[in-house]
Amino acid sequence: MATPFLTTSTTLSLSLSTHLHRLSSSLSSTCFPFKPNLHRVRRSPSLLASYGNPHLFNHEDHHSTYKSLLSTRILGPKSNFLQMGPSETSCSREILVKSSASDSSNTVISTLSQKVFGVLHLVVSLGIVLAMDKFLKQAFVAAAIKFPSALFGMFCIFSVLVILDTTIPAAATSLMNFFEPALMFIQRWLPLFYVPALVVLPLSVRDIPAASGLKICFIIAGGWLASLCVAGFTAIAIRKIVNTEMVDAEPMAKPSSFAPIEFWTWGGIFLASFVSAIFYPTALGTTARTCLPFLLASTVLGYMVGSGLPSAVKKVLHPIICCALSADLAAVAFGYISQSGVDAVLGDYLTKVSSNPGAGDVLMGFLGSVILSFAFSMFKQRKLVKRHAAEIFISIILSSLFSLYSTALVGRLVGLEPSLTVSILPRCITVALALSIVSLFEGANSSLTAAAVVVTGLIGANFVQATLDKLRFRDPIARGIATASSAHGLGTAALSAKEPEALPFCAIAYGLTGIFGSLFCSVPVIRQSLLAIVG
């Protein structure tokens, strides 16, 4: 009797095993999205302890979790029941591919939208700064105020930011963040905006006798070095007197380097517009407008090439000089090929006529915005400005007085004509204020004044960093004040391109040197004393 029973049991077991195997194979051959009702599976600690993986219910794939648990509960931990193999892997792979493609598409769209938003942000913020500068200029012209409107705007913006920081700090931070793209754009191209006066320098000095020109160069070069030393050493001496401990400046972001696509784009603009201007000299209405694209492109390309030179070369040949030389070479080439002459091309480079602008007029149109942007750089370093106010103001005042009186004295000692000496008195002051200062003196040559200011800035731009290193001026305050007090805008542009942390102090010295110089020359006693020294 036992044998049939055993035979029947064995047959049933084999039948059940075969049935389960077929069912498992059938399920394995399909990729069916099985969604079990997980809340019906009991999460028993003893069950987990008995049947294996203690992290079973922490797995991300609930579907696999349910199948593994079900298989274990029915057939034991060794069973392959409901363990889907190659078909499930293939299905998962297909889903992952689709998911990756979707993620990649979303990333591209997100990146593109961010770039578009970044461009719009730059256009709006820079447009507001340019509009602000234009409004201030018109207001000052209407009110017959000779003081540079941009300097007034710079101190107004700085004051507003300080007030907001005191009352509503979040508003000041938001304002800074909003204008950040415009500030980075200006800082990236800063030297370009001071180059036009350097490009047309040959037109400004051609009428000066060679002997007088050599004397002027001697005064300018020696005076630049002397002014730099006076400003820098005075700042350090005052700090020692007031015993102010030097702390690190706030880190300043550096603008991005130039990409190859930018170089090739400007190169294409130069070639196309240069050839077009040769065959159609008045294609855009006037020769100045027609020459504008290739002269602007040559200036930009010169700056890019100069910026890419090795550091050792840039200490001797600053990117600003490369920039000016590139524009002058383009003017010489066009003047020779078109037979119009280099003087005519340089005249079209900087026309100073708003209705007929040249490439130089476009670049110089940003100068007011550059000065306005200095307010934001000053605000970033407001703690250091407040902490070191004594050395900043005292060194700038002494440096301004020294520059005026030393120029007058050396001019007389070397026998330079009084009218020429008076014309170069404000050599360390930015062009806009320098022209206002010489208008207070009779017989001054304003063209020579502009040329002297440009040459001073050129010397400073080319040699300021190496000279500061030789004099061992280490901190950004002494370096910034010494640079701007002796070489104004061009020196500021050259130093800040490599040392952005010195830019706020350059900006302060840049503005205050011009303000104090204007105030000193407006005082009759000081003006008469200068004339007496000149003779």
- DSSP for 31-95 reads -------GGGS---HHHHHHHS-TTGGG-S-HHHHHHHHHHHHHH-TT--TT---HHHHHHHHHH
| Cα–Cα distance measured from residue 50 to residue 295, given in angstroms and rounded to the nearest whole number | 84
Q: Is residue 243 part of a domain?
A: yes
Q: What is the C-alpha separation between 373 and 304, in angstroms, rounded?
A: 22
Instruction: Name the domain boundary from 349, 377, 404.
Output: 349
Residues 380 and 321 both lie in one domain? no
- Spell out the per-residue pLDDT of the chain, length 535, in tens: 444 443 444 444 444 445 444 544 444 444 444 444 444 444 444 433 443 444 444 444 444 444 443 444 444 444 443 344 444 444 555 555 555 656 667 777 778 788 888 889 999 999 999 999 999 999 998 998 877 788 888 889 999 999 999 999 999 999 999 999 999 998 888 888 878 878 888 887 777 888 888 999 899 999 999 999 999 999 889 888 888 777 666 666 677 788 899 999 999 999 999 999 999 999 998 999 999 999 999 999 999 998 888 877 776 777 888 888 999 999 999 999 999 899 999 999 988 888 899 999 999 888 888 888 888 888 887 887 788 888 888 999 999 999 999 999 999 999 989 888 998 998 888 776 787 788 788 878 877 887 888 888 888 888 888 899 898 888 888 888 999 888 887 788 778 777 877 877 887 888 788 888 888 888 889 989 999 998 7
Asked if residue 511 and residue 393 are part of one domain, the reply reads yes
Q: Show Cβ contacts of residue 510 under 8 Å, excluding neighbours closer than 6 positions.
A: 371, 374, 430, 484, 488, 489, 492
Q: Please count the structural domains in the chain.
A: 2
Structural domain contains residue 73: no
**Angle (CA) 150 180 485, round 5°:** 45
Asked whether residue 135 is domain-assigned, the answer is yes
CA–CA separation, 531 vs 373, rounded Å? 36
CB atoms within 10 A of CB 460: 32
pTM (2 decimals)? 0.69
Q: Is residue 324 part of a domain?
A: yes
Query: In whole angstroms, what is the distance from residue 325 CA to residue 345 CA?
Result: 14
**Domain contains 441:** yes
> What spatial distance separates the first Cα and last Cα of the chain, rounded to whole Å?
145
**Structural domain span for residue 273:** 260-349
Regarding whether 370 and 271 lie in a shared domain, the answer is: no
Q: Which of 349, 373, 389 is the last residue of a domain?
A: 349
Round to whole Å and give the CA distance between 159 and 369. 17
Listed residues 349, 384, 417: the one ending a domain: 349
